[in-house]
């Protein structure tokens, strides 16, 4: 059940990704419409984060390609914002909330230039949007999980992008933060931005997203929520191991070289 769209914001063509030489995504192929809030669902180890990292060019694919706004990634980086998993950074790093949000302006500033008043105003505005105005000078290690996630989202907002890729922004956050972030993402989608979110909770996904991508090593489904959130497809995504695919994966990782690499 894969719905392809005309004039896609993001087009992924036959993407296969491996870590070392263990394939973690097989032949993923889909396209996404603009102005939607899109969820990537799948069990642990399904390759959700890998897909986002491959889109951002942080892992190079074994085969296949990604096109964003009908262009290769490097031509349109300024229009894309990436929010890594909260745990991927060391929150003991000596920095204030404002310092981190200012990093969102680095992309447009380029190398060597320092952020100035304009950038600072933008960062403050973004902190206001995520409800963190009272924490501007706070040391980041003093924040709760939910507050750290809000800071990351403020940093993404400061990038002023058109496509947002977020890796588990709802992981380990409190109810209030979840509602606040969700409302913010809704507003962003309503104003024409495309927001792609890795998510693991099926129940909230029902309410959250307009469009859903289901992954489990391969693409199970991609389409409007009403069409893909069916019992059959959910069972295909979450129901047990894909015996054959995992066996092939084992076979390949035992080889002395990567046979998938051309």
Partner 1 sequence: MDDFIYFFTFQDPSVAWVVIGITLLGIGSAYVGTFSFLDKKALLGDAISHAVLPGICMGFILAGEKNPIYIVTGAFLSGAFATFLSSWLKKNTKLSEDSIIATILSVFFGVGIVMLTALQKSGNPEIAGLNSFIFGNAIGISESDLLIYGGLSLTIILVLTLLLKEFRLMVFDPSFGKAIGFPIESIRFLFNVLMILAVVIGIQAIGVVLMAALLITPGAAARFWTDRLNPLLILAALFSVISGILGTYISFVLPQMPTGPWVVVFLSLIALISFLISPKSGIIFRFLSRKKYLRKTHRDHLLKALYKALEEGRKSMTIEEIYELYPYQKKEINQSIIDLQKSKYIVQSQNSISLQEPGVSEAMRIVRLHRLWELYLNESLKIAPDHVHESAEQMEHLLTPELEALLEKRLNFPSLDPHQETIPREKNDLR
Q: What does each C-alpha distance from 125 to 97, 133, 158, 257 come to in angstroms?
A: 13, 8, 8, 51
Nearest residue (CB) to partner 1, 20 versus 231: 20
SS3 content of the chain, % helix, strand, coil (to 5): 40, 25, 35
Nearest distance from residue 67's CB to partner 1, in Å?
17
Q: Is 169 in the site for partner 1 (CB under 8 A)?
A: no
Q: Is 22 in the site for partner 1 (CB under 8 A)?
A: no
Q: Is 60 in the site for partner 1 (CB under 8 A)?
A: no
Quick one: which segment of 27-35, 60-68, 85-93, 192-200 binds partner 1 (CB under 8 A)? Answer: 85-93
Nearest residue (CB) to partner 1, 63 versus 139: 139
Report the DSSP beta bridge partners of residue 219: 215
Per DSSP bridges, beta strands 194-198 and 22-32 are unpaired
Residue 145's CB is within 10 A of a number of other CB atoms, namely: 15
Would you give the binding string for partner 1 spanning residues 94-113, x where CB under 8 A is met?
Answer: xxx--xx--x--xx-x-xx-
Q: Which residues contact 253 (CB under 8 A, 6 or more apart)?
A: 20, 21, 22
- The gap from C-alpha 33 to its chain's centroid, in whole angstroms, comes to 16
Nearest distance from residue 139's CB to partner 1, in Å?
4
The answer to whether 51 and 225 are in contact (CB under 8 A) is: no
Q: Is 172 in the site for partner 1 (CB under 8 A)?
A: no
Quick one: which segment of 29-37, 72-80, 196-204, 241-249 binds partner 1 (CB under 8 A)? Answer: 72-80
Q: Is 58 in the site for partner 1 (CB under 8 A)?
A: yes
Quick one: which segment of 31-39, 87-95, 214-222, 251-259 binds partner 1 (CB under 8 A)? Answer: 87-95
Nearest distance from residue 238's CB to partner 1, in Å?
28
Residue 214's CB is within 10 A of a number of other CB atoms, namely: 27
Q: How far apart are CA 13 and CA 148, in angstroms?
A: 34
Q: How far apart are CA 121 and CA 136, in angstroms?
A: 12
Would you give the binding string for partner 1 spanning residues 135-164, x where CB under 8 A is met?
Answer: ----x-x-------------x---x-----
Residues that bind partner 1 (CB under 8 A): 53, 56-58, 74, 77-78, 80, 82, 84, 88-90, 93-96, 99-100, 103, 106-107, 109, 111-112, 114-115, 139, 141, 155, 159
């Amino acid at each position: 059940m894969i719905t392809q769209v005309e004039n896609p914001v993001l087009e992924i063509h036959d993407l296969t990704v491996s870590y070392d030489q263990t394939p973690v995504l097989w032949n993923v192929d889909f396209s996404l419409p603009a102005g939607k809030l899109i969820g990537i669902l799948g069990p642990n180890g399904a390759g959700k984060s890998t897909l986002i990292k491959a889109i951002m060019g942080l892992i190079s694919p074994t085969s296949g390609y990604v096109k964003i706004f009908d262009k290769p990634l490097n031509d349109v980086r300024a229009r894309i914002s990436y929010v890594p998993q909260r745990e991927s950074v060391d929150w003991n790093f000596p920095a204030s909330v404002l310092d981190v949000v200012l990093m969102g302006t680095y992309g447009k500033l380029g190398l060597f230039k320092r952020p100035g008043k304009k950038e600072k105003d933008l960062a403050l505005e973004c902190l206001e949007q995520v409800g963190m105005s009272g924490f501007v000078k706070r040391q980041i290690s003093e924040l709760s999980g939910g507050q750290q996630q809000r800071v990351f989202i403020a940093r993404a907002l400061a990038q002023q992008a058109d496509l947002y890729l977020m890796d588990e922004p709802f992981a380990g956050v409190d109810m209030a933060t979840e509602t606040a972030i969700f409302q913010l993402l809704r507003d962003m989608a309503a104003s024409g931005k495309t927001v792609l979110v890795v998510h693991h909770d099926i129940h909230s996904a029902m309410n959250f997203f307009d469009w859903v991508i289901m992954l489990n090593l391969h693409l199970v489904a991609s389409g409007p929520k009403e069409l893909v959130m069916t019992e059959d497809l959910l069972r295909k995504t979450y129901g047990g191991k894909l015996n054959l695919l995992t066996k092939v994966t084992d076979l390949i990782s035992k080889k002395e070289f990567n046979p998938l690499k051309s």
